[in-house]
A and B are shown apart, each in its own frame.
Chain A
Amino acid sequence: MAPIIELEDLHKTYESGEEPVHAVRGVSLTISRGEFVAVMGTSGSGKSTLMNILGCLDRPTSGGYRLDGIQVSTLPRDQLSDLRNRKIGFVFQNFNLLSRTSAVENVELPMLYRRTPLSAAEQRRKALQSLEMVGIGKRAGHTPNQLSGGQQQRVAIARSLINDPVLLLADEPTGNLDSRTSIEILGIFQRLNDEGITILMVTHEPEVANHAKRIIVMRDGRIRTDNLVANRLNAAAELGRLPAEGGA
C-alpha cells in the first residue's frame, strides 16, 4: 500500500523582501497509513510552512509531494481545493468554526463542496453521526459562541472527519485549551488513530507530542530529529487519574 505522505527534497522559498527566505530547505519524509506523527520546532523552524504544503494550502518551490499516491506539487488551485475537500481534515488551534452557524451545519460544510453532492437528509445524518462520534451529539443545534473551547474543538474534529479523509492535520489543536480539555482532545485523536486514521499534529509542547507515536523536530527548515516515542502517554489513562471535572 502506498504511503499517505511522501516528500522528496522539498523546498519552499519566499521571494518577499530583499533577501529570499528559505523556509523549508530540503525535507524528505515518508508517513505511512495509521501513523500518528507530532511535528515540533520553534517558530521560524519551517514547521508551519511544511504544514501548509502538506495541507495543500500552498505549493512547494521545488521537490515532490505525493499525497495518497497523487503527485500534488504541481496541481492547479481548483484541484488542490478538491484534494483538501476529499483527502484532508483540518483541525486548527483557534477552531475556525463559522460563527452564528450551528454545530451540525459547521460539520456539514465540507459536504457542501463535494463534487458529488449528497442529499440534504444524508448530509444531516452523517453530520449528526460525526458529532456523536466525538461525544457532542447533544449540542448539534448550538452555535460556537454557546460552546466551550473543548466543545468547539470537538465540533471542528467532527467537521474534519466528515468526508472520510486519509489524513488529519492538526495545527496546535490544544493551544487554546486548558490541560484537562487538552487531554480529552488528545484522547479523541488517539482513539481515531486506533481506528486507523493517519494524524499529523503540529505542537510545541513536548507533553502533547508524547501522545503521538512518532516525533519529528524541525529546525532552520530541515528535519533535525525523527524518532519513535518511547514512553507514549495514554490520554484515557491520564483522565482516569485526574480528579473529576469541577473537582474537589
Chain B
Amino acid sequence: MRLQTSFRTAFRALLRNKLRSLLTALGIIIGVAAVIAMVGIGNGAKKQVEDQVASMGDNALMVFSGSSSRGGMSGGFGSAGTLTLEDAFAIKREIPGVQGVTPEVEGSARISSGNQNWFTRLNGVDADYFSIRMWSFTHGGPFEERDVKAYAKVAVIGKTTALEMFGSEEEALGKIVRVRNVPFTIIGVLAPKGASFFGRDQDDTLVVPYTSAMKRVLGVKTIPRITVSVERGKSVAMVVEQVSNLLSQRHRLPGDREPDFSIRTQEELANMATATSKTMTTLLGFVASISLIVGGIGIMNIMLVSVTERTREIGIRLAIGARGSDILVQFLIEAVTLSLLGGMIGIGLAFLAATLIMRFSPMPVYITAGPVLYSFAFSAAVGILFGFYPARKAASLDPIEALRYE
C-alpha cells in the first residue's frame, strides 16, 4: 500500500472518532507543552542571569570580608569586618591592570521625605562604583571623587525607590531625603536593572558616598566588600591572584592559615546562580517527559481498543489481499499520526503558555529550537513505540477468525 494512501486511511479513521482521538492525544499535547514550557522557563532564568553578567561587567571581582563564625553560626560573607578602607586604597594603588575600585558598605534604612517614607537598601560607595557596575542614569548623574572626600550629603536613587517616594523619576531629582535624620540631596536617578541573580530588586536602593554612609549614617569602621574592575584585555584570574597576595600580606597571614577574606569573580557568582536553574531545568524536563510516556500509554490503550473494534475490518482487508505488514503499517501510522498531531498542538500550546506567562508574570520564558525538536521527535518515538504492540496484534490476526468476529 502506498504511504500516502496509508496516511489518508489513518486520518479518516481518526476523524471518525474525533473526541476520542483528541482525548487520546491530550496526554501527548500536555506532555509536549509541559516539556517545552518548563525548559523554556529554565532557559529564561539562565538567560536572565547571563544578561545580568553582561550588564554588570564580566570583568568585575568582589572581595568579601571573612565570615564570622561564633558557636557554629556562620554570619556569611562580609560579616567579620576584616577589610578596611586602606585595603581598598592599596588595591587601587599597587595592583596593575585594575581599572576601578570601590569599597561598599550596605545597610537597611528607613528614608523619608515630607510625609512619605520607604524602607530601602542604603549603599555607600566610591565614585568608581557607577562605571564598575555599568550603571547609567535616566536623570541627573553620579557623585564625584570630591563629594566622597567632602563627606557630601548627596545621593543617587534607584528607580523603584524614586517611584515609591516621589511618584516619578523626574520628581525625585533635586529632592531631599532624610536617612536616619540626615538629609541627602538627590542628584541622579539610576536606569533600571531589574532583579539580581538571587532575586533582589536592584533598583530599590539609595546610593551615597561611602564616607557619608560610614560616618553619618551607619557608624562603621570596616567594610564588608570591595568591588574591583579589571582593565579590558587583562586577565581577571591574574588580578584575583595579586589581590589575594596583597591582602594576605597586609593582614599578615601566615601561609597555612585560612584567609580572612574571600574573592569571587562575577563569573563565579553567575555560575552559582545558573547551576541551580540548570538543575531545575533538567528536573522539570524529566518530569514533563514522564507525562509524555504516560500519554504514550494512553495511545497504546486506545489503539488496542481500536484493533478489537475493527477486527472485522482487519479480516476484510486481509481476505482481499492485505499483507500483515500492510495492516501493521496502517495501525502504526494511526498511532504516529495521533502522537504527532498531539505534538504539534502541544508545541502551539507551549508558545501560548509562554506568551501568557510573560504577560502576567515577571518570569522570562525563552523557548529554543532544541526542546521543540526534542519533544516533537520524542512524541513521534512514543507513537511508534506504543503503537507497535497494538499494530502487531492487528497484523497477526487470523483472517478467518477476524472475518467471523461479531
What residues of chain A have their CB less than 8 Å away from a CB belonging to chain B? 52, 55, 57-58, 77-78, 81-82, 84-86, 90, 92, 96-98, 100, 109-110, 112-114, 117, 159, 163
Q: Does B2 interact with chain A (Cβ within 8 Å)?
A: yes
What A residues does B373 contact at CB under 8 A?
none
B394 CB → nearest A CB, Å:
14
- CB within 8 Å for A77 and B324 given contacts A57-B400, A113-B1: yes
Contact partner of B5 (CB less than 8 A), chosen from A58, A97, A100, A112, is A112
Q: In the complex, what residues of A have CB within 8 A of residue B399's CB?
A: 57
Distance between A91 CB and nearest chain B CB, rounded to angstroms = 11
Kindly provide the distance from the CB of A6 to the nearest chain B CB, expressed in whole angstroms: 22
- Is B260 engaged at the interface, CB distance under 8 Å to the other chain? no
Stretch at the interface among B25-33, B136-144, B172-180, B312-320: B312-320
Inter-subunit contact B16/A85 (CB<8 Å): no
User: How far, in Å, is A62 (CB) from chain B's closest CB?
Assistant: 19
Q: Which residue of B lies closest to A49 (CB)?
A: B400
A101: nearest chain-B partner, CB-CB: B12
> Does chain A have a CB within 8 A of B403?
yes
* Contact (A112, B2) CB under 8 Å given A57-B400, A78-B323, A98-B313: yes
A159 & B320 in contact (Cβ 8 Å cutoff): yes
By the criterion CB–CB under 8 Å, are B320 and A113 in contact? Answer: yes
B contact residues around A85 at 8 Å (CB): 320-322
For residue B325, CB closer than 8 A to chain A, the reply is: yes
Query: What per-residue 1/0 map shows which CB atoms of B1-27 lie under 8 Å from chain A?
Result: 110010000000000100000000000
Contact with A100, one of B1, B16, B318, B400 (Cβ below 8 angstroms) = B16
List 6 other contacts, CB 8 Å, given A81-B318, A81-B322, A86-B321.
A78-B325, A92-B403, A100-B16, A110-B321, A112-B5, A163-B321
Point out the residues of chain A lying under 8 angstroms from B319, CB to CB: 55, 57, 84, 90, 96
Within the assembled complex, what's the spacing in Å between the Cα atoms of A98 and B317?
A: 9
A55 and B320 CA atoms in complex are apart in Å by 10
Tell me if B400 and A109 are in contact (CB < 8 A): no
Pairwise interchain contact B324-A81, C-beta atoms closer than 8 A: yes
B87: interface (CB < 8 Å)? no
In the bound complex, CA of A82 to CA of B318 (Å): 10
Check A110 against B320 for contact (C-beta < 8 Å). yes
The closest CB in chain B to the CB of A48 belongs to B400
Partner of B320 from the list A52, A78, A100, A109 (CB cut-off 8 Å) is A109
On whether A81 and B403 interact (CB within 8 A), knowing A96-B316, A112-B1, the answer reads no
Q: Which chain B residue has the least Cβ–Cβ distance from A169?
A: B319
> Are the C-beta atoms of A113 and B326 separated by less than 8 Å?
yes
The 5 closest A-B pairs by CB, nearest first: A85-B321, A81-B323, A110-B320, A113-B321, A84-B321
Q: Tell me, rounded to whole Å, the shortest Cβ–Cβ distance linking A92 to chain B.
A: 7
* Distance, CA A77 to CA B5, complexed state (A): 23
Nearest neighbor of A99 in chain B, beta-carbon distance: B313
- CA gap between A92 and B399 in the complex, in Å: 13
- A57-B400, A92-B403, A100-B16 known; A113 vs B316 contact (CB < 8 Å): no
Whole-angstrom distance between the alpha carbons of A117 and B5 in the complex? 11
Q: Which interface residue of B312, B313, B316, B325 has the most chain A CB atoms within 10 A?
A: B316
Supply 29 A–B pairs (Cβ within 8 Å), ascending by A. A52-B400, A55-B319, A57-B319, A57-B399, A77-B323, A77-B324, A78-B323, A78-B325, A81-B318, A81-B322, A81-B324, A82-B321, A82-B323, A84-B321, A86-B321, A90-B319, A90-B320, A92-B403, A96-B319, A98-B316, A100-B16, A109-B316, A109-B317, A110-B320, A112-B2, A113-B322, A113-B323, A113-B326, A114-B321
Point out the residues of chain B lying under 8 angstroms from A113, CB to CB.
1, 317, 320-323, 326
From B1, which residue of chain A is reached at the shortest CB distance? A112
Distance, CA A81 to CA B325, complexed state (A): 11
Query: Quick one: closest A residue to B313, CB to CB?
Result: A98
Q: How far is the CA of A52 from the CA of B325 in the complex (A)?
A: 21
Interface string of B305-337 (1 = CB under 8 A from A): 000000011011111111111100000000000
Once the chains are docked, how many angstroms separate the CA of A92 from the CA of B319? Answer: 11
Which residues from B are CB-within-8-Å of A77? 323-324
Distance from A28 Cβ to chain B, minimum over Cβ atoms (Å): 23
Instruction: Give Cα distance in the complex from A117 to B2, angstroms.
Output: 8
Contacts of B317 in A (CB 8 A): 109, 113
Complex partner residue of A96 from B1, B5, B403, CB under 8 angstroms: B403
A146 to chain B, nearest CB (A): 17
Q: Are B400 and A58 in contact (CB under 8 A)?
A: yes
Q: From residue B344, how far is it (CB to closest CB) to chain A in Å?
A: 26
A82 to B400, CA, bound (A): 16
A51 to chain B, nearest CB (A): 10
Q: Report A-chain residues with C-beta under 8 Å of the C-beta of B326.
A: 113
Task: Give CA–CA (A81, B321) in the complex, Å.
Answer: 4
Which of B1, B319, B324, B325 has its CB near the most chain A CB atoms (within 10 A)? B319
Residue in chain A with minimal CB distance to B9: A112
Q: How far is the CB of A60 from chain B (nearest CB, A)?
A: 14
* Closest CB in chain A relative to B5 CB, distance in Å: 6
A53 to nearest B CB, angstroms? 10
Residue of B nearest to A95 (CB): B316
CA distance A189 to B372 in the complex (A): 59
Give the Cβ gap from A64 to chain B, nearest Cβ, in Å.
21
Q: Is the CB of B323 within 8 A of A96?
A: no
| A135 CB → nearest B CB, Å | 22
Cα distance A86–B400 when bound, in Å? 19
> B325: which A residues are within 8 A, CB to CB?
78
Instruction: State A52–B315 Cα separation when bound (angstroms).
Output: 13
- A159 contact set on B, CB distance < 8 A: 320
Q: Which residues of A contact B322 (CB under 8 A)?
A: 81, 85, 113
A110 CB to nearest chain B CB (Å)? 4
- Docked complex Cα distance between A77 and B400 (Å): 13
Q: How far is the CB of B406 from chain A (nearest CB, A)?
A: 10
Please report the C-alpha to C-alpha distance between residue A148 and residue B133 in the assembled complex, in whole angstroms: 86
Output the nearest chain A residue to B406 by Cβ-Cβ distance. A94
CB distance from B328 to the nearest CB of A (A): 12
